[in-house]
């Protein structure tokens, strides 16, 4: 859409998607119920709510205000459509596995039906869960017959907050404690939310233990802004000359803000001002200015803290001086699409120098991007990353399926175009 104007002023991003899913699921474990404002407007969280309603829980939604409480006459089961949402499908497995008397089938769209479910089914089976599904339970649809689970310890082969959270939710209805050991620290929203509600947890380095707990306490708060949504504005502002943007009320959980640390190494000028915590989560304002960037290496412990932002970081890396390398990010191959392939294909078409690797990529920065058509592969984060590329390309970047942006950030493209058009 060049030429674009500098991005200036304040942007309030939608409520955090990961936290919103957890708020809804934990509300359904509470007779008192949980009430929040600024609930995520994305289609993924709407999938979680419709599954909970289908199970007989009470969901009252008025725009971004939400109240969820445990239903009094729960359905014996039903078909639950998780849509495009891995978090919905995987966390529901954990929630339902320990609910004796429930029988449910979890389905999803074509993308979700290709994604691995064995990672959540296998550990739940070690606790006694009765789950079956396509390919022996490795793919959707999955059927779950709730039963009394036993406690146990499970060591995750890959750092996954979805799998960890499924096990913690299952642990709440198990007969003994459930401990999850993780190889690298993944996002800890489930732990923070349980602690905020006053549910006892044991947190040690690399492990977390939950104890049986019936009827969660309720509460009321504002869901912090989604750092993964703020990220698109942060990178856009860093790349468009003269930009100065402020993003208030954003979640600053360090298990999510790895992009800021990486961009800091790359030379981004930004500041962070903390505000009071909300729902147990750190919150604050991020202010960012356009900055010349230089290449860096991203690897190891850092990967889970910016896993959803890596496609966007690749766009920034095309404009950085020198080489940016991402390693150890093979998880990107099993997200809403194969994000390594999608980024390599799209950025190559735009004229970037990118080399695809099994577990990441190498980008030699400093080349101008040209306009052309690219495929989002129906993946919201890929579509939004290419929309940011559009701001700096020398001609229009046409993204084939823009509607998928509504999975996490409805309205983003209009807001971005409106801001960038203001001169």
Q: Active-site positions?
A: 308
Binding flag, residue 191, ligand S3P (CB under 6 A): no
Residue among 183 and 351 whose Cβ is closer to ligand S3P: 183
CB atoms near residue 60 (< 10 Å): 11
Given candidates 308, 309, 379, 390, which one binds ligand S3P under the rule CB under 6 A? 308
Q: Distance from CA of residue 136 to its chain's centroid?
A: 27
Least CB distance to ligand S3P at residue 131 (A) = 18
Token digits for 199?
């549910």
With tokens 């500041």, the residue in question is 271
Is the separation of the CB atoms in 291 and 232 below 8 Å?
Answer: no
Can you give the length of the chain in residues? 423
Residue among 183 and 292 whose Cβ is closer to ligand S3P: 183
Phi, psi of 104 (to 5 degrees): -140, 150
- State the DSSP string of 306-359: GGGGHHHHHHHHHTSBSEEEE-S-GGGGGSSS-HHHHHHHHHHHTT-EEEEETT
Collapsed DSSP state (helix, strand, coil) of residue 225: strand
Binding flag, residue 51, ligand S3P (CB under 6 A): no
Residue among 38 and 364 whose Cβ is closer to ligand S3P: 38
Which of positions 73-92 make contact with ligand S3P (CB under 6 A)? 87
Is the separation of the CB atoms in 8 and 243 below 8 Å?
Answer: yes
Residue among 48 and 209 whose Cβ is closer to ligand S3P: 48
Binding flag, residue 162, ligand S3P (CB under 6 A): yes
Residues in the interface with ligand S3P (CB under 6 A) total 11
Least CB distance to ligand S3P at residue 187 (A) = 6
Is the separation of the CB atoms in 154 and 179 below 8 Å?
Answer: yes
Question: Which of the stretches 73-81, 130-138, 161-169, 294-302 binds ligand S3P when contact is defined by CB under 6 A?
Answer: 161-169
Binding flag, residue 47, ligand S3P (CB under 6 A): no
Least CB distance to ligand S3P at residue 394 (A) = 32
Binding flag, residue 305, ligand S3P (CB under 6 A): no
Residue among 89 and 397 whose Cβ is closer to ligand S3P: 89
Residue among 161 and 387 whose Cβ is closer to ligand S3P: 161
Say how far apart CA 388 and CA 369 lie, in whole Å: 11
Which of positions 368-387 make contact with ligand S3P (CB under 6 A)? none
Given candidates 161, 287, 306, 388, which one binds ligand S3P under the rule CB under 6 A? 161
Least CB distance to ligand S3P at residue 314 (A) = 16
Question: Which of the stretches 157-165, 291-299, 357-365, 398-406 binds ligand S3P when contact is defined by CB under 6 A?
Answer: 157-165
Residue 366: partners with Cβ closer than 8 Å, 6 or more residues away: 319, 320, 321, 322
Question: Which CA distances in Å does 76 have to 57, 146, 366?
Answer: 12, 10, 58
Binding flag, residue 160, ligand S3P (CB under 6 A): yes
Least CB distance to ligand S3P at residue 363 (A) = 21
Binding flag, residue 166, ligand S3P (CB under 6 A): no
CB atoms near residue 32 (< 10 Å): 13
Binding flag, residue 209, ligand S3P (CB under 6 A): no
Say how far apart CA 249 and CA 64 lie, in whole Å: 15
Binding flag, residue 20, ligand S3P (CB under 6 A): no
DSSP state at residue 48: H
Q: Is the dihedral of CA 152, 79, 339, 268 positive or negative?
A: negative
Say how far apart CA 111 and CA 423 lie, in whole Å: 39
Given candidates 237, 307, 382, 387, which one binds ligand S3P under the rule CB under 6 A? 307
Phi, psi of 38 (to 5 degrees): 60, 35
Residue among 199 and 397 whose Cβ is closer to ligand S3P: 199
Question: Which of the stretches 28-36, 56-64, 160-168, 204-212 binds ligand S3P when contact is defined by CB under 6 A?
Answer: 160-168
Binding flag, residue 306, ligand S3P (CB under 6 A): no
Least CB distance to ligand S3P at residue 120 (A) = 9
Say how far apart CA 54 and CA 98 lie, in whole Å: 18
Which of positions 219-278 make contact with ligand S3P (CB under 6 A)? none
Least CB distance to ligand S3P at residue 186 (A) = 6
Q: In terms of Cα–Cα distance, which of 29, 50, 33, 42 is closest to 108?
A: 50
Residue 66's DSSP bridge partners are 36, 61
Residue ranges that bind ligand S3P, judged by CB under 6 A: 18, 21, 87, 160-162, 165, 186-187, 307-308
């Amino acid at each position: 859409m060049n030429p674009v104007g500098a991005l200036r002023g304040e942007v309030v991003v939608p409520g955090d998607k990961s936290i919103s899913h957890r708020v809804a699921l934990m509300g359904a474990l509470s007779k008192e119920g949980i009430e929040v404002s600024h609930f995520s407007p994305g289609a993924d969280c709407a999938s979680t709510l419709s599954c909970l309603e289908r199970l007989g829980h009470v969901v009252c939604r008025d725009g971004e205000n939400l109240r969820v409480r445990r239903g009094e006459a729960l359905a014996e089961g039903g078909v639950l459509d998780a849509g495009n949402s891995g978090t919905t499908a995987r966390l529901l497995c954990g929630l339902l596995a320990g609910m004796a008397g429930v029988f449910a089938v979890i389905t999803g769209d074509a993308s979700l039906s290709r994604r691995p479910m064995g990672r959540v089914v296998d550990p739940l089976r070690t606790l006694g869960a009765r789950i079956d599904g396509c390919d022996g339970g490795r793919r959707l649809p999955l059927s779950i017959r709730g039963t009394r689970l036993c406690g146990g310890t499970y060591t995750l082969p890959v750092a996954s907050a979805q799998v960890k959270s499924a096990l913690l939710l299952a642990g709440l209805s198990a007969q003994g404690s459930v401990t999850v050991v993780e190889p690298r620290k993944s996002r800890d929203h489930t732990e923070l939310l349980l602690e905020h509600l006053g549910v006892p947890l044991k947190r040690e380095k690399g492990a977390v233990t939950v104890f049986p707990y019936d009827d969660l306490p309720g509460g009321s708060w504002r869901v912090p802004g989604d750092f993964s949504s703020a990220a698109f504005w942060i990178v856009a502002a860093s790349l468009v000359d003269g930009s100065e943007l402020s993003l208030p009320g954003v979640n600053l959980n360090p298990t999510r803000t790895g992009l800021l640390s990486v961009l800091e190494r790359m030379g981004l000028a930004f500041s962070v001002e903390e505000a009071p915590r909300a729902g147990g989560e750190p919150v604050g304002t991020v202010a960012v200015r356009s900055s010349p960037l230089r290449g860096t290496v991203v690897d190891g412990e850092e990967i889970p803290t910016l896993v959803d932002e890596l496609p966007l970081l690749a766009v920034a890396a095309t404009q950085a001086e020198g080489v940016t390398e991402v390693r150890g990010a093979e998880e990107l191959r099993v997200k809403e699409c194969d994000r390594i392939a999608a980024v390599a294909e799209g950025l190559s078409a735009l004229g970037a120098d990118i080399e695809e690797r099994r577990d990441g990529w190498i980008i030699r920065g400093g080349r101008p991007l040209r306009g052309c058509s690219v495929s989002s592969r129906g993946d919201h984060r890929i579509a939004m990353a290419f929309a940011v590329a559009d701001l700096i390309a020398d001609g229009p970047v046409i993204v084939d399926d823009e509607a998928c942006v509504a999975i996490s950030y409805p309205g983003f493209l209009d807001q971005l175009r409106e801001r960038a058009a203001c001169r």
